[in-house]
Amino acid sequence: MPIAIVVDHLSKEYRLGQISGGTLREDLNRWWARKRGKPDPTSKIGQEVSGTPAFSGGIGFDGGGVKTSAGSRTSGGYKTSDRIWALRDISFSVEQGKVLGIIGRNGAGKSTLLKILSRITAPTSGEIRVKGRVASLLEVGTGFHPELSGRENIYLNGAILGMNQREIDKKFDEIVEFSEVQKFIDTPVKRYSSGMYVRLAFAVAAHLEPEILVVDEVLAVGDAEFQRKCLGKMSDVARSGRTVLFVSHNMSAVMRLTEETIVLNKGNLALMAETPRAVDFYMSSGFAQVGERRWEKTDVPSNAAPFCPLYLRIRDSRGQIIESVRSTEPLIIEFHYRLHAAMTGLRVGLYLQTARGEMVLTTFDTDESSHFETHRTRQAGDYISRCEIPADFLNEGRYVLGVNASSYRVRRYFQEEQAISFTVDATGSPGSHWPEVRQGPIRPRLQWEIENVGIKDIRGVGHD
Amino acid sequence: MVIRPQRTWFDLRLKELWSYRDLIGLFVRRDFVSVYKQTILGPLWYIIQPIMTTLIFTVIFGRVARLSTDGLPQFLFYMSGTIVWGYFAECLTKTSNTFITNAQLFGKVYFPRLAVPISILISNLIAFSIQFVLFLGFVAYYWFSGADIQPNLWVLFTPILVLIMAGLGLGFGIIVSSLTTRYRDLRFLVTFGVQLWMYITPVIYPISTIPERYRPFIQANPLTPIIETFRYAYLGAGSANPLNLLYSAGFMLVVLILGILLFNRIEATFMDTV
């Protein structure tokens, strides 16, 4: 198989902190100092100066301003502590026609890698050699103009993504059909529902036919039927001999769609292997955020003894460990822990908060008084406290789960308010046929009745 | 294709830009269409604006301040200045925001960034053409009603004048836009600077009213020969000098090349700084 992508010792360094006004004088100072061969006056004493000699061009015209605003070039001599390596010396290659998964927790460098690959930003060192056109679905609908009609936006968006007029003409009907917005194709897209908007945007992107397709979590959008179509499109792309890079937090999608996967950790390439092995590595190496939180011995404060948390898992109704749950399905929270000695009066509980920090509920495993009686004393050993959050309960959004182990009014053994987070998807939940955001953390399926109480009553109300 | 950290200063990839010409066309269309959607007068605004400005200038500078217009009808004199200056000023101010206003778009897809400022030049050119036709109408009207104007063969230079203005506007605009990724102050400076610039350009006065010893300063302004030539060509007053035009053209080339080099340099990693 020919190679489609070669990533060769790729590194990307970002400067931390705000880069904005007020820096002109600093830049001029720095530039002037460099001209005279003096040390950088703005760098702090005692800090290492990171210079990457390969890029210290030192060209005269407004050297400081130009160079440093170009971001990652370090010729000016910034201190290392100001900078962060988003990617460090990554090398791998992908064969043509393969679907490569990219996983890693937030900040591991997944998005940076994709940004460099889709040429949104340049790397600091190293290079990528690619064969053919790269199209990214980093975000669909880029460049859509609300005032323009669907038709006009297809052409505009297509051109932004790199198609020429002829190619779009050829694909136009297919795009419209795929997007299912035939009737509204000459309506300005600002009148579209968000679902229609996303469908149209995805349709354009999906018909690009690039040699290399980059997909970043776009599957999070749209309804289930539409997601199915998207996944289908992705496999089509792969089957027709083109290459796909698939970045996701959704392990089951990665397992289903990819053969090979790379695991990124803090900018480094932790592992490249067949997907099952890579996912297994990722889930078990403790840095998974995906539906599971593990506590190593070193994570647990010594005053928690004899209580010791092991892991916290979120499962769906089929027992799969998941990170994203559907509002219409129940979810099961399992808290595994070890007691090094028998404990009396222990209660193990969960705090559920929204990502914005509103408390949704607090619950304990011995809330039921009969439970409290039967589990009054727990012997030393491993335990699981399991709790089911019913279907049709949580609204869409991101939630944070905390854990607590205490004896009422005696002692708190262990507490962590942000142990794990998960996402709730509202597909199919009450009112989801209106693509609006529902306020509030819960979204129960309530009993509504609509009763016609006679026409003449309308006049009566309000006048009397 | 190879994705590398640093491009050399002269790796401009203009060929790639050419392959995105459809995109430039669509940007122009978008700008043009979206401007007049949901307005009552629509494209008429392209005409109303310069006429209003011209009327205001005629009243304030012509009637109240009684500035000389080299014996030309005041309305034509101010209108010629207004539309020519207007094209340059619009090109400059609009392109100077390229990186900031398009950060969203640039952050998601790659295409040659120069496509955006170039599309701005072209959509402004459409507006200018509309205004220019209007101007021709007024010239004809004054001509037939016997005003003292002498259009001459210099009118053939019009495309060259437009080209030089476009180049200057683009050059200055992208220099500013490249620097604003770092120094946001420049954004405020631009709107303000362009206004001041107008007053050192013979837009509201003919160069003949400037005392001899200040003239070199006004002449050093690359916009001066353009406006002077334009006026001379259509109205026949003032002067036109190929040498001065050559100076403007040279100035334009230097600014434009500098601008493209700088822009190209910034575009690679500007997403990290915005």
DSSP A440: S
**Which pLDDT does position A458 carry in this prediction?**
57
| Distance linking the first and last C-alpha atoms of chain B | 26
Q: How far apart are CA A112 and CA A134, in angstroms?
A: 15
How many residues are present in chain B?
274
DSSP A188: B
Cβ(B124)–Cβ(B50) under 8 Å?
no
Single-letter code of the amino acid located at B215:
R
Q: Which of B27, B105, B262 sits opposite A66 (nearest CB)?
A: B262
Q: Which of B2, B183, B268 sits opposite A24 (nearest CB)?
A: B183
B147-182 pLDDT, tens digit each: 788 888 898 999 999 999 999 999 999 999 988 887
**Which pLDDT does position A399 carry in this prediction?**
84
Segment holding A404, helix H or strand E: strand A397-407
Reported confidence tier of residue B93, pLDDT bands at 50, 70, 90: very high
**Which pLDDT does position A313 carry in this prediction?**
92
Reading the block at residue B202, the tokens are 């013979």
Reading the block at residue A433, the tokens are 């046929």
Q: How far apart are CA B124 and CA B86, in angstroms?
A: 9
Beta-sheet pairing, A331-339 with A381-389 = antiparallel
B226 touches chain A (CB under 8 A): no
Segment holding B126, helix H or strand E: helix B115-144
**Which pLDDT does position A379 carry in this prediction?**
92
Q: How far apart are CA A276 and CA B104, in angstroms?
A: 36
CB pairs under 8 A between A and B: 141
Chain B residues in contact with A59 by the CB 8 A cut-off are 9
Residues in a beta bridge with A8:
A127
Peptide bond into A390 cis (omega under 30): no
Give the closest residue to A260 by CA, choosing from A247, A276, A249, A248.
A276
Contact map slice: B 70-109 vs A, CB within 8 A? 104-109
- Nearest-CA distance B176 → chain A (Å): 12
B34 touches chain A (CB under 8 A): yes
For B218-242, what is the mean pLDDT? Answer: 89
- Nearest-CA distance B13 → chain A (Å): 14
Cβ(A69)–Cβ(B274) under 8 Å?
no
Q: How far apart are CA B21 and CA A176, in angstroms?
A: 24
**Which pLDDT does position A362 carry in this prediction?**
93
Q: Which residue of A has its CA nearest to B274?
A: A19
Q: How far apart are CA A95 and CA A79, in angstroms?
A: 39
Q: How far apart are CA B93 and CA A408, in angstroms?
A: 68
Residue A69 makes CB contacts below 8 A (sequence gap 6+) with A19, B178, B179, B181, B182, B266, B270, B273
What is the mean pLDDT for each group of 10 consecutive residues in chain A (464 residues)?
Answer: 88 66 61 63 42 33 33 37 80 90 81 86 89 75 84 89 87 89 89 84 81 70 61 76 81 79 89 86 59 79 86 88 85 93 91 77 91 89 93 86 88 83 82 80 92 70 52
Residues A71, B272: C-beta atoms closer than 8 Å? yes
Residue in the structure block whose two tokens are 């590194």 = A11
- Nearest-CA distance B92 → chain A (Å): 20
Is A423 strand, coil or helix? strand
Q: How far apart are CA B167 and CA B161, in angstroms?
A: 10
Cβ(A397)–Cβ(A423) under 8 Å?
yes
Chain A residues in contact with B34 by the CB 8 A cut-off are 145, 147-148
Helix-then-strand count for chain B, H and E: 13, 1
Single-letter code of the amino acid located at A139:
E
Residues in a beta bridge with A27:
none
B272 touches chain A (CB under 8 A): yes
B265 touches chain A (CB under 8 A): yes
* Mean pLDDT across chain B: 87
Phi-psi region of B260 (alpha: psi -120 to 50; beta: other; left: phi over 0): alpha
Cβ(B99)–Cβ(B177) under 8 Å?
yes
Given strand A125-130, what is the order of strands in its sheet? Answer: A83-95, A3-15, A125-130, B2-3
**Which pLDDT does position A356 carry in this prediction?**
61
Residue A72 makes CB contacts below 8 A (sequence gap 6+) with A12, A13, A14, A15, A121, A122, A123, A124, B5, B269, B272
Q: Which residue of A has its CA nearest to B27?
A: A156
**In Å, what is the CA distance from A221 to each residue of A71, A112, A425, A442?**
32, 21, 10, 21
Round the CA-based radius of gyration of chain A to a whole number and report it: 27
**In Å, what is the CA distance from A310 to each residue of A296, A337, A433, B213?**
7, 5, 41, 87
B179-217 pLDDT, tens digit each: 888 787 888 888 889 999 998 898 888 888 888 888 888
Q: How far apart are CA A292 and CA A315, in angstroms?
A: 9
Q: How far apart are CA A375 and CA B250, in angstroms?
A: 90
Chain B residues in contact with A121 by the CB 8 A cut-off are 268-269, 271-272
Reading the block at residue A110, the tokens are 């997944």
**Which pLDDT does position A56 carry in this prediction?**
32
Residues B5, A72: C-beta atoms closer than 8 Å? yes
Chain B residues in contact with A162 by the CB 8 A cut-off are 20, 111
Q: How far apart are CA A153 and CA B102, in angstroms?
A: 17
- Nearest-CA distance B90 → chain A (Å): 22
Q: Which of B4, B108, B179 sits opposite A142 (nearest CB)?
A: B108
Q: Which of A55, A148, A164 sits opposite B6 (nearest CB)?
A: A55
Residue in the structure block whose two tokens are 């002269």 = B10
